[in-house]
Structures are given as C-alpha cells and as structure tokens.
Amino acid sequence: MSDIALVAEAFWRGSLGTSSALLSGTLVRAIPLTILGVAIAIAFRAGVFNIGAEGQLLLGAVAATVVGLHVPQGLGVVGLLLALGAGAAAGGAWAGIAAVLRARFGVLEVISTIMLNFIALNLVSYLVRGPLQEPTRVYPQTASIDEGARLPQLVADTRLHAGLLIAFAVSVGAWWFLSRTAAGFRLRAGGAAPAAAAAAGRVNVPRVSALALVASGAIAGLAGGIEVAGVTYALYEHLSPGYGFAAIAVAILARLNPIAVIGTAFLFATFETGALGMQRDAGVPSTVASVLEAVAILAVIGFGGHMAWVRWPRRRGRASGAPAPEASA
Amino acid sequence: MRGVTRRFNHVVAVDAVDISVAAGSIHALLGENGAGKTTLMRIAYGLVERDAGELRLFGETVAGGGAHSVRRAMRASIGMVHQHLSLVGNLSAAESLVLGGHGRHHPDAAAAHLARVSELSGLRVPHDVLVRNLSIVEQQRLEILKALSRGARLLILDEPTAVLAPPEIRDLLRWIRSFAEGGGSVVLITHKLREALAVADEVTVLRRGRVVHAGGGSARGASEADLARAIFPETLDPSPVPAPSAPGEVVARANALVIVDARGAPRIRDATFEVRRGEILGIAAIEGSGHRELLRALSAQQRITAGALDIPSDTSLIPADRLREALIPGFSVTENVALRQAGWRRGLMRWPTIAERARNLVRVFGITTTSVSAAARELSGGNQQRLVVARELEHDVALVVADNPTRGLDVQATAFVHAQLRGAAARGAAVVVHSSDLDEVLALATRVLVVFDGVAREVSGDRDAIGRAMLGGGGGAAA
Amino acid sequence: MNELEFFLEAAVRTATPLLIAAIGESVSERAGVINIGLEGCIIAGAYAAFVCAGAGPAAGYGAATLAGMSLGLILAVFSVSLRRDQIIVGTALTMLALGVTGTLFRARGSAGALVVDIGTVYRIPVLSDLPLVGGALFAQPAIAYAAFAAIPAVWWWTNRTHAGLSLRAVGESPAAARSAGIHVARTQFGAVLFGSAMGGLAGGALVLAQAGSFAEGMSSGRGFLAIAIVALGRWRPAGVAIASLVFGSAMALQFVVQSLGWRVRYELVLMIPYVLTLMALGAFGRGSAPAFLARHDLEE
C-alpha cells in the first residue's frame, strides 16, 4: 500500500504537483508533443503514414543549431526566426525524400520514413562527434547557440519558453487550415477517398499527398528547431526521448483533431514527466510511459471504430474486368 | 426453400419466400435491382444466413447458422457464379479450379483436372494462363467449371449475361439448356425478360423481397408483357422518348485518339467522333473494349497517348462506382456537394453558402436525408445517386459523362436519373452515357457509338446490328 | 581466416535474424496483413530468449517464439477480427514491446549485465573447409541452418499445398477466397501468428546466436528492414532470401570496418543498411504486392 502511495506521489510530484514540475517539466514537454502531434495529424488526415516525425525533428534541430551557431550578432529576433525557419525547411526536406520516393517510385512512406529516422539518428551521432562537435572536442555535442537565436522565457526562473505560444498557434492554424481553406479540404478529401477526390473533385491526389507529407515534415522540423532554441541550446544525441513516436499516440488519441492535440499532448507529457518522477523517486522505469502510450492507441483504435482516413498508396490491379464486389443486389 | 426471410438493418430483403427448383430444369429468378434475388440465392448457397424459414437441398433439411455454410452448400452440390466474378487474379486457371481444397497441391494434376472437366462440359479454358489474363467469357466459364468440378448439380448463375455481348449470351444460354438436359438444375438470376423467357422452364418474379409471380416459361404460355407487369407494376412507359432537341454545335471532339494504359497495353486504338449540344451519345461495348478509358478521357481523368481530344473544361461526371469515385462516404452531404471540382477552388471554403446550396439540392432533387450534415454513407443507395446527379447537374455544363448511372438503383430512382440526363441534354448539354445494359443505352441514346477492341465507330441500326458490332462483327453503317 | 571470409561469415550470421523475420512476414503479407509490429515481435523475442536462456537454447528459442506470437495475437485480434487499421495497430505494438521490454530490463537492475552463451557453431564436415564460402555457409549456429531450411519449406508450402493456395487467394481477393469456401479470417489469423512467431524467433536468434546479451532497443530497426526485404524480395521466398543476405552484408560491414581499422566514421557505416533500403526500394520496390495487403475494408 505504501509502495503504491509512494509511486503515485512520485508521479504527482514529477508531473503536476509542484509549479516547477508543471512549468519546467510537463509544459515544456507538451510543446514538442503538441507540434509533432499536429504534424502527424495533418499527414494522417491526408492519408499519408508519416512515422518519421522523429527524424524530421532531428533534422530540424540540426539545421536550427547550424544557423543558431552562426547568426551574426545584433540581428535580434531575426536570428531566432532564421534558426526556426531553417529547422522547418530541413524537416520538410527530410520528409520530402519520402514524398518523392512515394510519388515517383511507389515506396511506402511507412518504411521510408522509418528508415529516414534511423539515418537521422546516426547522422546526429556523426555530426556531434565530427564536424559539429564543440571546440574542446570532449563532449558529443555542439557548442551553445547564440543568445540571439534563443526563445525567450515565458515565466522567470523556469524553463518554460515562448515555444508554448508557437505550439498553440500551430494547433489553431492547422485546425483553421483543415476546416476553412480549400487546400485543407482537398487534403482531407484526398486522404478520406482518393478516387472520389480525383474523379469528382479533380484533385491531384499524389501532389496533395506529397505536399502534406512535406508540410508535416516542416512542422516536425519546426518542433526540432524549438527544442534547440528553447530547451537545449545545443545539438546532442538524445535530444528527443522519442517525441516523434509518442506524438503518433498524441495524434490518434486526439482523433487527428489539431485542437484536441493540445489536450492529448499535455496528457502524454504528464505521463512522461510523471514516469520520470517515478523512476527518480520510486525506482519505476520511465519506459512505462511508452507502454501507456501504446495502450492508449490500442484502446482508441479498439473501441473507437475504423479510421477511414488512413489509406494505402497505389493499389494495383485486381483480376481484370472484375470490379470491386459491392453489396448484394 | 419455404418461408425464407432475411433482414438487413430492419430492411426486409427477402420476405417469406417459397421457391423450389426441380431437377433437370431451368428456373429463372426475375426482378428489378434490389428485389432480393441475389440475397435469396446467397441464402441457398450459404453465404448469407437466413433469419427464418426452411431450406431443403436434394431432400435434406439444412440447419441455419454455423460458420462453414458455404462448404455445406458445396457438399450439397450447389454451385454459384456471382455477378461480379469471384476469381483470384494471380492464380492460374488450374489453381483457381482446385482452390479451397486440402492437403497437397499437385500442379500437373490440377491442370489435368481442368482439362478433364473442360472436356466433359464443353467449356474451354486454357489451364496455364493467369486468371487476370483470361477474357471475361473464359473467366465466367472457369467459374462454372469450378462449380461443376465440385460435383454441382444445381448451378446458380447471378446475372451471367450482364457482361456478355448478344452472341456470347446465346452460347451461354445454349450451354445452360444442354446442362439441364443432362439432368442438372439451373437458377438463372436476371433482370432481362427476353433471355429468361427464351430458356426457362419455370419463372419466379420477386419484388421487394416477396414472390409476386410464379409460373412456367414461354412454353407454358408466359408472355413478356405479363412478366413485365409483375416486375414493374407501375407500368413503365414501354418506349421512352429520346431527347427531342436538335443537336447544336460540337462540344467535344476526338480525332484519331489513342490511349495506352499504365502497363503499356493499347486500350483505345482509334476513335474519331464528335458530341454535340443537346444530344445523348450512347456508348455500347462489352467489358474490356476500352470504353472505360474513353469515358475517363472524356471526363479528363485519363491522359491520352496520341491524337487529339477537345473537351470543355467544365465537365460533369457520374461514375459507375458512386461510393468510390463520386462520394466520400464519411463526409457530410454539404462536404460532398463542395467536392465537385475542389481541385480548382482557391482560398477559403464558404461553408454557410455551400450548406445553403446543399439544402436547395436536397429539396429540388428529392433527396431523403435527415440533414445536410448527415454523412453520405447514411443515405440509401438511391439517395446517394440522387445526390451525385444533383451535384453534377446543379449548374448547366457543356458535357455530362455518365457511366452506368443507374447501377443498383430501383425503378423509381432509375427513372429519375434517366429523366435528369434527358433534361440536361434538353437544356443544351452534350451527354455521353454508357451502360453495361445495352437496353439502357438504347433507351437513352439519340446516337450510338460502339467500342470494340479499342476501335470506336458509330453504328446505326437495330439492337441486333449494335450487338454484332459490340463483338467486332459488321453490320450498321459507319458514320 | 582472411578478411573476406570473416566478412562473409559475419554477413550470413547477421542476415539470419533478418531472414527469419522476413520469411515470416512474407507469409503474413501474402495473406494480406502487414505486421508493422514486427519490430516489436523481434525485441519481445530477444528479451524472452535472454530471460529464458539459462534453461538452455531450446527454452530460449521457445520463449522467443511465444513472445512474438503473443504480440501477433494482439495484431490478429485488432486487425483481423476487429478489422482495425493494420499500420496503426502495428505501430502501437512496436511501442508496446519496446516499452515493456525496456521496463522489465531496467527493473532487473544489475542482472541486466548478464551475458548468455551464444551457442555452438555446427561445422559441416568437408563443406565447411571450402574456401571463401565454407565458413559463411557451413559453419553456422543451428538457427542459421533452420533459417535456410525455412526458405524451401515456405516455398513448398505456398505453392504445393492447398493451404498455401488459400493463403495467396486471401491476400489477393478475399471475396473470391470466401466464395471458394476458404475461411478468410482464420487464414489471416494463422498467417499473422506464424509471421509474428518467426519475428520472435528472429529476436531469439539475435540474442542467442549473435549478440549474447540484451540491450534496450537492440532490434534497432530489423523489423522494419525485414518488411522492406519482403517488398524487395517480391514476396517470394527465394527473393526474400537474397534480399536478406544483401542486407546482412550491409549490416556486417560495421564489423569489417572495425577490424580493418578503416578511417571511416562508425556512425556513417551504421547508416548504410538504411540508406541501402531506401535506394533499393526506389529502384526495385515496385513488385506485385498482394492486392489486398493492409486493407481493413476487405469488401462491403
């Protein structure tokens, strides 16, 4: 009994129980989870399985670091914008590889984005030990980025940074884009029913899917830039504790609604900081957080019915002349 | 079968039906689309469970329920050939024949088996060709051979002639007759009176799941008119009037058009024709003739390979498969209305305006739905098609392309769609319509274009001349 | 043993878990079910083998197989019985397995440092003395021979038994299979269980015949590589075998690079299999996938 109380208290103290846990821990973690959750929601809504948010985040972090290390003094907020912009561009380009492979060569983006994750992980390991290593050449990380390229703090003496506002803006912006713009409608239509979108809507579905994947990657890359500019101020290997995978659960639990992502991201951030608290104070491994995430996905999928927006690219031929069976006459 | 009943979500598909099939006879099961013919026979075959009633096969009562009902029907010597052939494209003909067996599979033995069954029945199918490379006729034969090789003595053929041209239909009916003379029984599901009367010993007509007529075939005095009244008590206008307006200027023009598909196979080898304002151009063709690619090209869905094709930018399309190509089942009625040409839209979606348009269409086209926010999948099939037609004909467009626009619709919905197409032509649109049912093409068209083996040409003349041309025969004057 | 022989031997040894997982996955995919949770099956199998290795290699492999299969059971229930999206369920299963094995492994504390016996190498007389390929093909642990044997066995089963025909029919056209009297869900269920059991076995081989210990996330993408291998091998056992060897070679490069002392960054060498996968999929990945692969809508 006391064990359980101990564990629960550790969870509470680690996640929400103190203002420092909430502001410096949970909310700080909710920022990348929200942005990545939005990135994944957009891709999945378009029927594209972007499992590569983790790699896109890392590439975004690399680009933001490179820019952040080299911005000239005195640019002020421009330096920060350049760093974040570079992060988004790099993430988009990284996803763009998968988009091209899908559009031109019919390669499943599930496989290609996962491969790109592994490549990105090894690339970061290489960079922080090789070309980008800090000047003393002791630690596997880069030097700290310029002060001007850092995100300002929101609350003094905490780690909570202005990325929180960006995360809110990204969520609301994505919701507005999907529900109010013609391009967002095309994206949803192409994801829900590619054949109907092409035939009735004259939508260029391959193009829309490719753009959605690139946009998703750019948003994930932005999250990487924000991590560097707001939290770590440098690039190192374990910059992301698997945010890109947790964000899949975040997006699915939110039923791919960008606004709801804010809530589910906060929930999962609580799981994770709580789990870290449990590991620190009660010796419970923090990996239980990913068990919780997996169970959450299975519960939503199991009880929530089909998710019809997900589709497989490039169906090829059936037996000739035999159209898809339909309901009996 | 006695008192057989089946409901789907409170809709009674088959309602207390009694039907019996004598050995050595051909029993035609007639009725319009949705009358319950297929469901009734799927119950007999064991693919669909019945909610009530008794099923006796060759003297044995078959209990309801249980997982392996298809095997039970097979053991009881029933074979069913579905309307949409259920073959596996990547298996060879011989492998298809033995599919569903147990234990070891010997390819040589399977080939020999196919040759033997083929020889015995007189239905020839090459054994080593992949099913996807067989012609439709060969695929259909293979389906029948599959049933025969399992010792079927009762064959259920579901709309077997829908995909065949008239001479192929004659061959098939002749074969059915000889099978019955050899002691076999056949249930022929069809909505074509003529062929039912030509071959059947017994005729049963279903309407809304109930038997409304049961009697003998033409040998016992049944007439086409009697059966037509049983099927369509609304007394349909026997000779629908073609759109009267005189053809105007040319709207679409194809000149020496060539279309090669993604696999490099030529689908359209030569097509030169025009479509004018105010006319309905019917396209008659058997499956696999290339007409589908032609229709897709006319609606700007298909890249052309050579030649010229002038089409207006604003084309309406009513595709054959509404749930795949016309509607997004999970989207609301309003969103489905907005779907038309969403690819060209810029800027923001003005949802209140679009919803108002959707409400207007629902009213004008008599679409039954709880609201315009209801998902399209919640509408009945007929209302879904009304929604597609309403959306595509909302504004007067220059060209309307319709592919099997009444598939799966009941008689009222069919009449509605026909009236809308004629109306569009009368208002000055050029309408191109294809149907797998030649009679529907003939009923609608003011001019008929026959596509055979990638070559399109205009054919004038009667039903027989067009039927011959659909198989590549002469007859009819090329325009 | 010269460097080339050493490399070939390492390539085959490294390819073994990939081959086992990919052969199993090919069966699952031919029935129309893609197992994105294969990565999870491998890590679960690896951990189970590690824990049970004390009771002998047979116990280790048995436990590995059961661990993979239990994940497969979840996939089968969700994706086959409930018709939920295969890719999302599979992704969740990989997260689940990585989380559970990580949690259990950390909970073991210092016992985690345990090293298990990586098993006897069985040298086939005469053949193992062949130059160049002798060591690679004929001096391997027992599990490698089992993997080789699985190639013709699976080919024979899919092409020369009725169950195999049924499997192919189900992945290509479930409606047609059903009307031929084949129980579609049961076939897919069985195929998923086989594929995930093989995934678990592959994890067992990773620990018991290759690494000799367990580390968190040690599957390091082998499940995803195996899925790519199936596509590259065009869903045929022989093609899968060749693709596995190619990828085994790519992964084995890291050992050679270390032993040769080449001045290439280790991290860059580690990237090679993944880069190779992307390039190979782009070049050859357009084979004929089963038409109903990864579909949960089947018909209706």
CB contact under 8 A, C285 and A107: yes
- Where residue A313 falls among pLDDT bands split at 50, 70, 90? very low
CA dist A253 and C269 (Å) reads 38
Q: What is the pLDDT of residue B390?
A: 93
Find out whether A309 and B124 touch, Cβ atoms under 8 Å: no
Most confident of A165-169, B266-270, C294-298: A165-169
Task: Please give the residue of chain B at the shortest CA–CA distance from A306.
Answer: B330
Contacts of residue C295 in chain B, CB cutoff 8 Å?
Answer: none
What pLDDT digit, counting tens, does each position of C200-247 carry? 999 999 999 888 889 988 998 899 899 989 988 888 999 999 999 988
Is it the case that residue C182 has pLDDT exceeding 70?
Answer: yes
**Residue B270: count of CB within 10 angstroms of its CB:** 15
% of chain B with per-residue pLDDT over 90: 22
CA dist C61 and A204 (Å) reads 50
CA dist C104 and C44 (Å) reads 11
| Overall average pLDDT of the C191-203 stretch | 97
Smallest CA–CA distance, residue B86 to chain C, in Å, is 4
CA dist B8 and A327 (Å) reads 11
A287, A314, A326, best to mutate vs chain C, most C CBs in 10 Å: A287
Which residue in A123, A307, A316 is closest to C288 by CB distance?
A316
Distances from the Cα of A238 to the Cα of A140, C43, C165, C216, angstroms? 10, 21, 48, 14
DSSP string, A144-180: PPPGGGSPPBSSTTSS-BTHHHHHHHHHHHHHHHHHH
% of chain A with per-residue pLDDT over 70: 91
Q: What is the pLDDT of residue A55?
A: 96
CA B411 to chain centre: 15
First-residue to last-residue Cα distance in chain B: 53
- Where residue A305 falls among pLDDT bands split at 50, 70, 90? low
Residues 6+ apart with CB under 8 A from A295: C96
Q: Is pLDDT larger for residue C144 or for residue A84?
A: A84
Q: What is the pLDDT of residue A242?
A: 86
Q: What is the pLDDT of residue B33?
A: 62
Radius of gyration of chain A (CA): 21
Which residue in C162, C172, C183 is closest to B103 by CB distance?
C162
CA A159 to chain centre: 20
Contacts of residue C175 in chain B, CB cutoff 8 Å?
Answer: 86
- Where residue B479 falls among pLDDT bands split at 50, 70, 90? very low
Q: What is the pLDDT of residue B237?
A: 47
- Where residue A161 falls among pLDDT bands split at 50, 70, 90? very high
Q: Is pLDDT larger for residue C136 or for residue A154?
A: A154
| Overall average pLDDT of the B252-277 stretch | 87
Which residue in A186, A192, A322 is closest to B330 by CB distance?
A192
Contacts of residue C176 in chain B, CB cutoff 8 Å?
Answer: 86-88
Contacts of residue B102 in chain C, CB cutoff 8 Å?
Answer: 162-163
Of the candidates A213, A163, A207, the one whose C-alpha atom is nearest the C-alpha of residue A186 is A207
CB contact under 8 A, C88 and A317: no
Is it the case that residue B474 has pLDDT exceeding 60?
Answer: no
Contacts of residue C286 in chain A, CB cutoff 8 Å?
Answer: 105-106
Is it the case that residue C287 has pLDDT exceeding 90?
Answer: no
CB contact under 8 A, C178 and B67: no
Find out whether A228 and A234 touch, Cβ atoms under 8 Å: yes
CA dist A130 and A128 (Å) reads 6
Is it the case that residue A324 has pLDDT exceeding 90?
Answer: no
3 state DSSP class of B185:
strand
From the number of C-beta atoms within 10 Å of its C-beta (0-12, 13-18, 19+), residue B25 rates as middle
| Overall average pLDDT of the A207-224 stretch | 97
CB contact under 8 A, C224 and A108: no
| Overall average pLDDT of the A159-169 stretch | 95
DSSP-derived pairing of the beta strands B26-30 and B185-190: parallel
Contact residues, C window 31-60, toward B, CB-based 8 Å cutoff: none
Task: Please give the residue of chain A at the shortest CA–CA distance from B302.
Answer: A199
| Overall average pLDDT of the B204-209 stretch | 83
- Where residue A306 falls among pLDDT bands split at 50, 70, 90? very low
| Overall average pLDDT of the B69-97 stretch | 77
CA dist A202 and B122 (Å) reads 48
CB contact under 8 A, C277 and A116: no
Lowest pLDDT segment from B231-245, B408-422, C223-237: B231-245
Is it the case that residue B316 has pLDDT exceeding 50?
Answer: yes
CB contact under 8 A, A329 and B408: yes
B–C interface: beta-carbon pairs under 8 A: 71
Alpha helices in chain A (DSSP H): 2-15, 19-20, 27-45, 53-70, 77-105, 109-129, 163-180, 182-192, 194-199, 205-227, 243-253, 258-282, 288-304
- Token pair 């942005």 is at which residue? A35
Q: What is the pLDDT of residue B328?
A: 93
What pLDDT digit, counting tens, does each position of A10-63 carry? 889 888 888 888 888 999 999 999 999 999 999 999 999 899 999 999 999 999
CB contact under 8 A, C180 and B71: no
Is it the case that residue B441 has pLDDT exceeding 80?
Answer: yes
Lowest pLDDT segment from B199-208, B212-221, C270-279: B212-221
Smallest CA–CA distance, residue C73 to chain A, in Å, is 13
CB contact under 8 A, B132 and A320: yes
| Overall average pLDDT of the A175-181 stretch | 95
Q: Residue C290: enclosing H or E segment and its boundaries?
A: none
Q: Is C279 in CB contact (< 8 Å) with chain A?
A: no
User: Packing angle between helix C184-206 and helix C142-160, nearest 10 degrees?
Assistant: 160
What pLDDT digit, counting tens, does each position of A238-272 carry? 899 889 988 998 998 898 999 999 999 999 999 99
Of the candidates B310, B21, B65, the one whose C-alpha atom is nearest the C-alpha of residue B187 is B21
Task: Please give the residue of chain C at the shortest CA–CA distance from A290.
Answer: C99
| Overall average pLDDT of the C91-114 stretch | 84
Smallest CA–CA distance, residue A94 to chain B, in Å, is 27
CB contact under 8 A, C274 and A122: yes
- Where residue A304 falls among pLDDT bands split at 50, 70, 90? low
First-residue to last-residue Cα distance in chain C: 61
What pLDDT digit, counting tens, does each position of A270-289 carry? 999 998 998 888 888 888 88
3 state DSSP class of B108:
helix
User: Packing angle between helix A109-129 and helix C222-232, nearest 10 degrees?
Assistant: 130
Find out whether A230 and A142 touch, Cβ atoms under 8 Å: no
Is it the case that residue B365 has pLDDT exceeding 60?
Answer: yes
- Where residue C119 falls among pLDDT bands split at 50, 70, 90? low
Is it the case that residue B94 has pLDDT exceeding 50?
Answer: yes
**Residue C214: count of CB within 10 angstroms of its CB:** 26
Interface partners of A (3+ CB pairs, < 8 Å)? Answer: B, C
Contacts of residue B71 in chain C, CB cutoff 8 Å?
Answer: 181
Is it the case that residue A315 has pLDDT exceeding 50?
Answer: no
- Token pair 């198989």 is at which residue? B471
What pLDDT digit, counting tens, does each position of C147-165 carry? 999 999 999 999 999 999 9
Which residue in A49, A118, A294 is closest to C87 by CB distance?
A49
Q: Is C36 in CB contact (< 8 Å) with chain A?
A: yes
Contacts of residue A319 in chain C, CB cutoff 8 Å?
Answer: 173, 176
Lowest pLDDT segment from A305-319, B227-241, C38-52: A305-319
CA dist C280 and C137 (Å) reads 25
CA C68 to chain centre: 11
Per-residue tokens: B190: 């069809």
% of chain B with per-residue pLDDT over 70: 87
Q: What is the pLDDT of residue B76?
A: 64
Interface partners of C (3+ CB pairs, < 8 Å)? Answer: A, B
Q: What is the pLDDT of residue C56?
A: 84
A–B interface: beta-carbon pairs under 8 A: 137
| Overall average pLDDT of the B241-267 stretch | 77
Find out whether A225 and A71 touch, Cβ atoms under 8 Å: no
Task: Please give the residue of chain A at the shortest CA–CA distance from C228.
Answer: A111
- Where residue C295 falls among pLDDT bands split at 50, 70, 90? low
**Residue B11: count of CB within 10 angstroms of its CB:** 11
Which residue in C89, C227, C270 is closest to A298 by CB distance?
C89
CA dist B161 and B189 (Å) reads 10
Lowest pLDDT segment from B261-275, B279-293, C100-114, C175-189: C100-114
Contacts of residue B346 in chain A, CB cutoff 8 Å?
Answer: 182
Is it the case that residue C257 has pLDDT exceeding 80?
Answer: no
Position B106, amino acid: H
DSSP-derived pairing of the beta strands B2-8 and B11-17: antiparallel
Contacts of residue C166 in chain B, CB cutoff 8 Å?
Answer: 99-100
Position B217, amino acid: G
Q: Is the ipTM of this complex over 0.95?
A: no
Q: What is the pLDDT of residue C299?
A: 41
Contacts of residue B147 in chain C, CB cutoff 8 Å?
Answer: none
First-residue to last-residue Cα distance in chain A: 62
Is it the case that residue A314 has pLDDT exceeding 60?
Answer: no
Q: Is pLDDT larger for residue A328 or for residue A21?
A: A21
CB contact under 8 A, C162 and B100: yes
Smallest CA–CA distance, residue C172 to chain B, in Å, is 6
| Overall average pLDDT of the B48-57 stretch | 78
CA dist A102 and A84 (Å) reads 27
Residue C104 bridge partners (DSSP): none
What pLDDT digit, counting tens, does each position of B5-34 carry? 776 655 677 887 888 888 888 999 887 666
CA dist B63 and B48 (Å) reads 13
For chain A, give the mean pLDDT: 87
